[in-house]
């Protein structure tokens, strides 16, 4: 029989009524002739509760015990989902990560997939079971310990199973009915997309769109797993939601397909650093060692070429990072200065910025996207602080107070409300 993977997030299984609603969607696919692997998250709020219990018990906790506790939320949901399906007459069985087994690395709290053997689940399907309900977010280390995959790991679990079992499709059920051209809460003109390419979805996910977890999109793109984003709270059919697929499945793509944004950004500038080979490594090496995720980078010509402190040419370096990593970045740079690895006159931090990005695979074959982007922002008198580009995106850093205005201006400039 053809196989389908269905994933239900925390809000989709938040209580017994919602689990029953999700089970009806699974039953419908079984009636259509599919064997189904269901991946479930913990019930909404439970993971945070479990994390709180761990932190309330031990501030310097053992990561292995953290995983043992936090992974239990998904186990509960899997068992309840299997019970509900059985009550509905659907042959179903629940599986914890170690029972499949979902083999991962030993990086507790941030494990990566190694392999998912098919034998155990295939044997159950051969016995007549139609649904395997698998606890997401978790796996088994080489040492035989439970591991977790990091937040959003259930999305990645679903894609990994779809790849391992050659599923026809992987349906991600969530609290939105698809992928939109931008956040509908920011722009009333936001339009739901019928299809979007893997590369576009990966950029949108990494740039702030929270519909899909970035790792899950990376995995789907690598193994060509067709994803569909659907609402758990609406009646759906084969044409519902948004299909995330290979570019070849999209007949004609718009130049820009979406506007993404992130409020949680900070801009850090180092003034009058030495302009010499290796200075970038001296700056960004310590930041990497400190776990700072650097994004946009600009090197400027300093206003002064030299002074009594600098015998040669000098420059300024600006970069952005998540606002939650600012203190870590500041400490790493100050320690590098104290060690004499880098020299700078001043370190300025701006935490009142936001990042806005336009994304579209059509940029590859169309000129003028940058000009239209900058023209739209200039028309609203929005100053650009930093610019970064790739083959299919243009990102700008602006004052946070202009974020909503910038999103709406760009959405209008590229006429994204039109199909």
With 60 as the cut, is the pLDDT of residue 311 above it?
Answer: no
**Residue span of the structural domain in which 123 resides:** 3-175
Residue the block writes with tokens 């008198």? 381
In 251-366, DSSP assigns E strands to: 258-274, 297-301, 314-322, 346-359
Asked whether residue 307 carries a pLDDT value surpassing 60, the answer given is: no
- C-alpha 208: how far from chain center: 8
Same domain, 57 and 170: yes
Count of the separate structural domains present in the chain? 2
**Percent of the chain residues past pLDDT 70, beyond the cut:** 96
Task: Please tell me the least confidently modeled range out of 3-7, 135-139, 307-311, 314-318.
Answer: 307-311
Q: Are residues 260 and 155 in the same domain?
A: no
- Asked which of 148, 175, 202 is the last residue of a domain, the reply is 175
Mean pLDDT confidence for 371-375: 95
181 assigned to some structural domain: no
Sorting pLDDT into bands at 50, 70 and 90, what band is 418? confident
Residue ranges at the known binding site for ATP: 7-10, 174-175, 180, 185, 210-211
- Asked if the structure places residue 232 within a domain, the reply is no
194-228 pLDDT per residue, tens: 999 999 998 888 776 677 888 899 999 999 999 99
Alpha-carbon span 271 to 319, nearest angstrom: 12
* Cα separation values, 391 from 200, 217, 375, Å: 11, 18, 20
Q: What is the pLDDT of residue 208?
A: 63
pLDDT at 249 > cutoff 90? no
Residue 100 CA to residue 408 CA, distance in Å, equals 47
Residues 166 and 282 in one domain: no
266 and 352 share one domain: yes
Q: How far is CA 414 from CA 372, 375, 379, 382, 383, in A?
A: 8, 11, 14, 17, 19
Quote the pLDDT of residue 185.
87
Mind listing the pLDDT tens digit for each residue in 129-174? 999 999 999 999 999 999 999 877 899 999 999 999 999 999 999 8
Both 127 and 276 in a single domain?
A: no
User: What residues form the annotated binding site for substrate?
Assistant: 47, 74
Query: What is the secondary structure of 243-271 as a DSSP string?
Result: EEE-GGG-SS--S--EEEEEEEEEEEEEE
Residue 236 lies in a domain: no
Looking at the fold, whether 307 and 158 belong to one and the same domain comes out as: no
Q: Looking at the structure, do residues 142 and 261 belong to the same domain, yes or no?
A: no
- Residue 205 has what pLDDT? 83
Confidence of residue 302 (pLDDT cuts 50, 70, 90): low
Chosen domain end from 157, 175, 193:
175
Which pLDDT score, from 0 to 100, does residue 306 have?
47
Per-residue model confidence (pLDDT) at position 121: 96
pTM of the model: 0.83
Instruction: Examine the domain organization and report whether 292 and 394 are in the same domain.
Output: yes
Instruction: Check pLDDT > 80 for residue 309.
Output: no
| Length of the chain as a residue count | 419
Per-residue pLDDT at 242 exceeds 50: yes
Are both 294 and 414 inside the same structural domain?
yes
How much is the average pLDDT of 230-255? Answer: 84
pLDDT, position 313: 80
Is 294 a member of any domain? yes
How far is the C-alpha of 332 from the C-alpha of 325, rounded, in Å?
11
pLDDT the model gives residue 301 = 66
pLDDT range class, residue 59, cuts 50, 70, 90: confident
Q: Of 175, 204, 232, which residue sits at a domain end?
A: 175
Known binding-site residues equal: 7-10, 47, 74, 174-175, 180, 185, 210-211
User: Does residue 81 lie within any of the structural domains?
Assistant: yes
* Apex 187 CA angle, 182 and 190, nearest 5: 50
CATH number of domain containing 347: 3.30.2130.10
**Mean pLDDT of all residues in 77-99:** 97
* Residue pLDDT, tens place only, 262-283: 998 999 999 989 888 888 999 9
């Amino acid at each position: 029989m053809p196989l389908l993977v269905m994933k239900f997030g925390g809000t989709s299984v938040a209580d017994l009524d919602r689990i029953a609603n999700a089970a009806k969607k699974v039953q419908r696919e079984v009636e259509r002739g599919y064997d189904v692997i269901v991946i479930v998250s913990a019930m909404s709020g439970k993971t945070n509760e479990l994390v709180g219990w761990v932190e309330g018990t031990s501030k310097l906790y053992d990561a292995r015990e953290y995983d043992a506790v936090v992974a239990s939320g998904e186990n509960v949901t899997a068992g309840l989902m299997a019970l509900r399906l059985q009550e509905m007459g659907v042959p179903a069985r629940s599986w914890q990560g170690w029972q499949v087994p979902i083999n991962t690395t030993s990086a507790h709290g941030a494990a990566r997939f190694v392999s998912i053997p098919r034998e155990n689940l295939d044997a159950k399907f051969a016995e007549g079971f139609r649904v395997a309900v698998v606890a997401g977010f978790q796996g088994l280390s080489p040492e035989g310990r439970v591991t977790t995959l990091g937040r959003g790991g259930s999305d990645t679990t679903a894609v990994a199973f779809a790849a391992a079992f050659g599923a026809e499709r992987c349906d991600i059920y969530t609290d939105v009915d698809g992928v939109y051209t931008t956040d509908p809460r920011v722009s009333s003109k936001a339009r739901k997309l019928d299809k979007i390419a893997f590369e576009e979805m990966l950029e949108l996910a990494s740039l702030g769109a929270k519909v899909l977890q970035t790792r899950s999109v990376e995995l789907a793109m690598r193994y060509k797993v067709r994803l569909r984003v659907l609402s758990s709270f609406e009646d759906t059919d084969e044409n519902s939601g948004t299909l995330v697929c290979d570019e070849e499945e999209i007949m004609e793509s718009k130049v820009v397909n979406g506007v993404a944004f992130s409020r949680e950004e900070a801009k850090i500038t180092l003034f009058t650093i030495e302009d010499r080979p290796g200075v970038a490594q001296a700056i960004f090496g310590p930041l990497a060692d400190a776990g700072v995720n650097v994004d946009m980078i600009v090197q400027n010509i300093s206003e002064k070429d030299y002074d009594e402190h600098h015998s040669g040419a000098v420059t300024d370096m600006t970069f952005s990072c998540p606002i939650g990593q600012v203190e870590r970045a500041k400490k790493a740079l100050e320690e590098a200065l104290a060690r004499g690895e880098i020299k700078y006159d001043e370190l300025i931090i701006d935490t009142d910025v936001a990042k806005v990005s336009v994304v579209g695979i059509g940029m590859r074959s169309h000129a003028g996207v940058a000009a239209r982007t900058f023209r739209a922002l200039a028309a609203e008198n929005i100053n650009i602080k930093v610019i970064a580009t790739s083959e299919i995106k243009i990102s700008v850093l602006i004052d946070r107070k202009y974020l909503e205005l910038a999103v709406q201006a760009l959405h209008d400039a590229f006429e994204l409300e039109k199909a």
